[in-house]
Amino acid sequence: MDAFTTHTGTAAPLRRSAVDTDQIIPAEYLKRITRTGFEDGLFSALRRNEPDFVLNRPEHAGASILVAGPDFGTGSSREHAVWALLDGGFRVVISSRFGDIFRNNSTKSGLLTVLLPQEEVERLQAAVEADPALPVTVDLQDRAVSYSGTTVPFEIEDYTRWRLLEGLDDVGLTERHLSDVEAYEADRPSWLPRVLPVP
């Protein structure tokens, strides 16, 4: 996973609530077995059906920060939603509420999800609507979003922040504690279900 320290780019305001992961990437695009190449599926139904959809507007074409409405990424567990956003050029999504699984997935692939109060989200949306070229900086080191003289702090768990800053992969971290796993396994009752052998 790529490390995330700080990122500056332009932002796209997505003024819709409850954009579920089916909308971020519809099921028909989930058949690919690679981890990249999902940009064609990103918001594909919205882009097709709504000519005025924010990502169809040329002034937001190069945006790398998505400023979304509340409850972004609810629904299906598909990590493809995170991959599609990354493949589509996004490094950060800002919202006042995220779907749990989506947020968790984002931390595994280096997409930074930033929680801000709804009024801060709306203020930022208004700012980038007024000036689509406005540079926005998201600094994970300092835990702050800043643009045109405004700095808004955000919270993130220390552990998640550290992993993102270092670009560390979870499996490697857990493997440091394999002896704990072995000790736990030695104590599991024998009647617990086993898939193999086939009875």
Partner 1 sequence: MPKTLAEKVYEAHVVRRADGEPDLLYIDLHLVHEVTSPQAFDGLRAAGRTVRRPDLTMATEDHNVPTLDILAPIADPVSRAQVEALRRNAAEFGIRLAPMGDRDQGIVHVIGPQLGLTQPGTTIVCGDSHTSTHGAFGALAFGIGTSEVEHVLATQTLPQYRPKQMAVTVDGELPPGVSSKDIILAVIARIGTNGAQGHVIEYRGSAIEALSMEARMTICNMSIEAGARAGLVAPDETTFAYLQGRPHAPQGADWDAALEHWRTLRTDEDAVFDREVRIDAASLTPYVTWGTNPGQGLPISERVPDPADLTDEDERRAAEQALAYMGLTPGTPLREIEVDTVFLGSCTNGRIEDLRIAAELLRGRRIDPGTRMLVVPGSVGVKTQAEAEGLDRVFVEAGAEWRGAGCSMCLGMNPDQLSPGERSASTSNRNFQGRQGKGGRTHLVSPSVAAATALTGKLTAPADLDFTAQLETAGV
Question: Of the candidates 10, 23, 113, 125, which one interacts with partner 1 according to CB under 8 A?
Answer: 23
**Contact window for partner 1 (CB under 8 A) among 4-12, 27-35, 85-93, 140-148:** 27-35
CA atoms within 13 A on the CB side of 195: 0
Token pair recorded at residue 66: 């998505």
Single out the segment in contact with partner 1 by CB under 8 A; choices: 3-11, 64-72, 128-136, 140-148.
64-72
By CB under 8 A, which span of 3-11, 54-62, 101-109, 142-150 interacts with partner 1?
A: 101-109
Report the residue from 9, 75, 89, 135 that binds partner 1 according to the rule CB under 8 A: 75
Query: Contact with partner 1 (CB under 8 A): which of 84, 87, 97, 125?
Result: 97
**Shortest Å distance, C-beta 97 to partner 1:** 6
Q: Do 65 and 94 form a contact (C-beta atoms < 8 A)? A: yes
Residue 3 binds to partner 1 (criterion: CB under 8 A):
no
Q: Is 22 in the site for partner 1 (CB under 8 A)?
A: yes
Closest to 55 measured CA to CA, from 92, 94, 89: 89
143-162 positions binding partner 1, by CB under 8 A: 157-159
Query: Is 87 a binder of partner 1 (CB under 8 A)?
Result: no
Helix/strand/coil for 116 = coil
Choose the stretch contacting partner 1; rule: CB under 8 A; options: 11-19, 53-61, 126-134, 148-156.
11-19
Out of 10, 74, 95, 125, which residue is the one contacting partner 1 (CB under 8 A)?
74
Query: What is d(CA 107, CA 92) in angstroms, rounded to the nearest whole number?
Result: 11
Structure token pair of residue 141: 């080191």
Whole-angstrom Cα distance, residue 61 to residue 172? 37
Question: Measured on CA atoms in the order 61, 62, 67, 70, is the torsion positive or negative?
Answer: positive
Find residue 59's DSSP bridge partners.
none
The rounded distance, in Å, linking the Cα atoms of 33 and 120 is 38
| 6-9/150-153 β-pairing | unpaired
Two structure tokens written together for 164: 């993102």
Residues that bind partner 1 (CB under 8 A): 16-18, 20, 22-23, 26-28, 30-35, 45, 49, 69-71, 74-80, 82, 97, 99-101, 104-105, 108-109, 157-159, 170-171, 173-175, 177-178, 180-181, 184-185, 188-196, 198-199
